[in-house]
Amino acid sequence: MKAPGNREPTTEPGPPEQIKAVPVRHPGQWVAAGIVAIVLVAVIKSIATNGNFQWNVVGDYLFDQRVLDGVVVTLELTVLAMAIGISGGVLLAVMRLSTNRLISTSSWTYIWLFRGTPVLVQILLWYNIAALYPSLDLGIPFGPAFVHLDANSLITKFVAATVALGLNEAAYMSEIVRAGMISVDEGQTEAAKALGMTRGQTLRRIVLPQAMRVIIPPTGNETISMLKFTSLASVIALPELLYSVQLIYSQSYQVIPLLIVASIWYLAITSVLSVGQYYLERYYGRGSSRDQPPPSLFEQLRSGWAARHVDPETLGLGREGR
Amino acid sequence: MTDTVLKAENVHKSYGRLEVLKGISMEVNKGEVFCLLGPSGSGKSTFLRCINHIEKINAGRIWVDGDLIGYRQIGDKLHEQRDSEIVACRAEIGMVFQRFNLFPHMTAIENVMLAQRIVLGRKSGEARKKATELLERVGLADKVDEYPNRLSGGQAQRVAIARALAMDPKLMLFDEVTSALDPELVKDVLDVMRELASEGMTMIVVTHEIGFARDVADQVVFIDAGVIVEQGTPKQVIDQPREERTKKFLGQVLEH
């Protein structure tokens, strides 16, 4: 580089001139958007005009008591199975990270077994567990039993489905939790130790809250998956959402509209769950970004509305280069 | 009753075949400030981490305030301490790290309050009062409710010092606490440490700040390759080092 001469720092008087440039045109995007628009119109027209959809039947059954009962069972199954899955997952993850070989290996084996077999098969196995263990005894291992339970009456369809889905989920959740725990910097554990916290306190107060940021998004996905996997319980004739509509259409033969009823409910619930996930992520993301936490959906909608309805100049936003 | 706070006797530590500490002995009395100098990898930080049993030692003994660290002697047999016993020892030893290690999901004051509450069992109001006082003392009264990622390195490190002080430690360990800081932020942290030393806190400081060691230390210990090469007052070790290795190290550090 040439050595520059004596240079005076120069300061322009007044505010800098704002850039007003012609934006780059994207003709390819316009063509693609046109094609998408045409396809969209065709699909909407077909949905609206194809009589086989029988939208009036969908409307009749959407809030039918039997369907609503099915929705309740589906929700109960999802919540209980996820509760088993998450608590089991945390337990398995802690076991997996144990220094005791037997403990960590048994966790590994559990995951291998439950991840390696189809959950549909697991549901059928649990439903038929009475064939394997006709009675369940509670008592001292290899010693006397205090409580004697009949497996057939204990393992109802609902219990079988909940246990099967929950234990299967625990295997997946443990990997998610473990990844979260590993992601926490080792210095955090050291600092907690140096302050005199026990291992349990360190796990609960320091490691898990930070791992949550990594754990929450995939757990949200798992919950949404779980909601849909509960439909597998229809094979053991548990009247959750799918089996409830199957029961109706097996008599009325209105297969398509009733499957649409079920789909609408599944979609509605997953949408609600997604919103919940958003807020959970926001909560556990605190302190993780240099900026303030991202605005909530509601705040985004409100500010979006404000930007459209208030002159940007008055807000000092100056959007769209006006 | 002596007022020896730390007594280390022939401490050895290896990682696998790599021997990091080869027999360190040291005695620190109440109110003394020891500065440990030495090239990186010499074992200074490892020794510090052995004192509060974050690292287990392979041979030797360490006592803090008369209590054997990590073990119980019953007859001529050593028994490993339970988690709860180690924890009680550690609570009396404050430690500040090179990379701060503040808890990122808590505000500054929550960082300072947490261990007071769950380790010492102080009531929330009492812990808050103590935390507020300490944060004021390290010059961060206006940063009480900030999350660590919105603090500068120097501010974060001062919160970390406040967090350790909140436990009313008998001994403070500083592990290269200014090494990760921008040069202009080092002074704030060193000033807090100077003040602490002048108030009579017993401190062991691993540092590369020769100036600080010269001003503040009662004893300077030069460690190289896992052994104490030279120990004495700052005047002896920094200004008139006798050992060749000390001279060479000081020459390199003081050059720039």
Weakest-pLDDT range from A245-249, A297-301, B167-171, B176-180: A297-301
Residues of B in contact with A205 (CB under 8 A): 114, 118
pTM comes to 0.76
**Nearest CA to CA, how far is A4 from chain B (Å)?**
29
Q: How far apart are the first and last CA of chain B?
A: 46
CB contact under 8 A, B105 and A286: yes
CB contact under 8 A, A195 and B88: no
Give alpha helix (H) positions in chain A. 27-49, 55-62, 65-96, 101-115, 119-127, 129-132, 151-154, 157-183, 186-194, 199-201, 208-229, 241-252, 255-284, 297-309, 312-315
Q: Are B216 and B31 in contact (CB under 8 A)?
A: no
Q: What is the pLDDT of residue A314?
A: 43
CB contact under 8 A, B149 and A290: yes
Treating both helix axes as pointing N-terminal to C-terminal, what angle do A208-229 and A157-183 enclose, rounded to 10 degrees?
150
Q: Are A97 and A104 in contact (CB under 8 A)?
A: yes
CB contact under 8 A, B147 and A287: yes
Q: What is the pLDDT of residue B156?
A: 96
CB contact under 8 A, B91 and A195: yes
**Is residue A301 over pLDDT 70?**
no
- How buried is residue B65: exposed, middle or buried, by Cβ count under 10 Å (0-12/13-18/19+)? middle
**Is residue A305 over pLDDT 60?**
no
**Which of B52, B118, B163 has the CB atom closest to A201's CB atom?**
B118
ipTM reported for the complex, 2 dp: 0.91
Q: What is the pLDDT of residue A4?
A: 57
**Is residue A319 over pLDDT 50?**
no
- Give the pLDDT mean for A83-92: 96
**Is residue B83 over pLDDT 60?**
yes
- Give the pLDDT mean for B248-252: 91
**Which of B92, B102, B118 has the CB atom closest to A205's CB atom?**
B118
Q: What is the pLDDT of residue A307?
A: 53
Q: Average per-residue pLDDT in chain A?
A: 86
**Is residue A254 over pLDDT 60?**
yes
- How buried is residue A199: exposed, middle or buried, by Cβ count under 10 Å (0-12/13-18/19+)? middle
- B59: helix, coil or strand? strand
- Give the pLDDT mean for B60-65: 93
How far apart are the C-alpha atoms of B178 and A319, rounded to whole Å?
44
Q: What is the pLDDT of residue A5?
A: 60
**Is residue A104 over pLDDT 60?**
yes
- Give the pLDDT mean for A159-179: 95
For B213-237, write each residue's pLDDT tens digit.
Answer: 999 999 999 999 999 999 999 999 9
- Tokens (6 digits) for B83: 């988690």
- Give the pLDDT mean for A7-20: 75
- Give the pLDDT mean for A55-78: 94
Q: Does B88 contact A at CB distance below 8 Å?
A: yes
Tell me the percentage of chain A whose pLDDT exceeds 70. 85
Residue A69 — very low, low, confident or very high, per pLDDT cuts 50/70/90?
A: very high
Residues of B in contact with A210 (CB under 8 A): 103-105
For B114-151, write each residue's pLDDT tens digit.
Answer: 999 999 999 999 999 999 999 999 999 999 999 999 99
Residue A103 — very low, low, confident or very high, per pLDDT cuts 50/70/90?
A: very high
How many beta-carbon pairs below 8 A join chains A and B?
Answer: 77
**Which of A187, A195, A201 has the CB atom closest to B167's CB atom?**
A195
For B167-222, write each residue's pLDDT tens digit.
Answer: 999 999 999 999 999 988 999 999 999 999 999 999 999 999 999 999 999 999 99
The CA-based angle A245-A161-A232, given to 5 degrees, is 45
**Is residue A119 over pLDDT 70?**
yes
Residues of B in contact with A207 (CB under 8 A): none
Highest-pLDDT range among A53-57, A136-140, B36-40: B36-40
How far apart are the C-alpha atoms of A300 and A284, rounded to whole Å?
19
Question: Would you give the distance in Å from CA A97 to the centre of its chain?
Answer: 25
How far apart are the C-alpha atoms of B159 and B139, rounded to whole Å?
9
The residue that leads in pLDDT, B196 or A298, is B196
Q: What is the pLDDT of residue A304?
A: 57
Across the beta sheet with B203-206, what order do the strands follow?
Answer: B93-96, B171-175, B203-206, B33-37, B219-224, B227-232
For B11-44, write each residue's pLDDT tens digit.
Answer: 999 998 999 999 999 999 999 999 999 998 899 9
Tell me the percentage of chain A whose pLDDT exceeds 90. 61
Q: What is the pLDDT of residue A52?
A: 85
Q: Which of B183, B170, B212, B227 is nearest to B32 (CA)?
A: B170
For A14-35, write each residue's pLDDT tens digit.
Answer: 778 888 888 888 899 999 999 9
The residue that leads in pLDDT, A142 or A201, is A201
Q: Average per-residue pLDDT in chain B?
A: 93
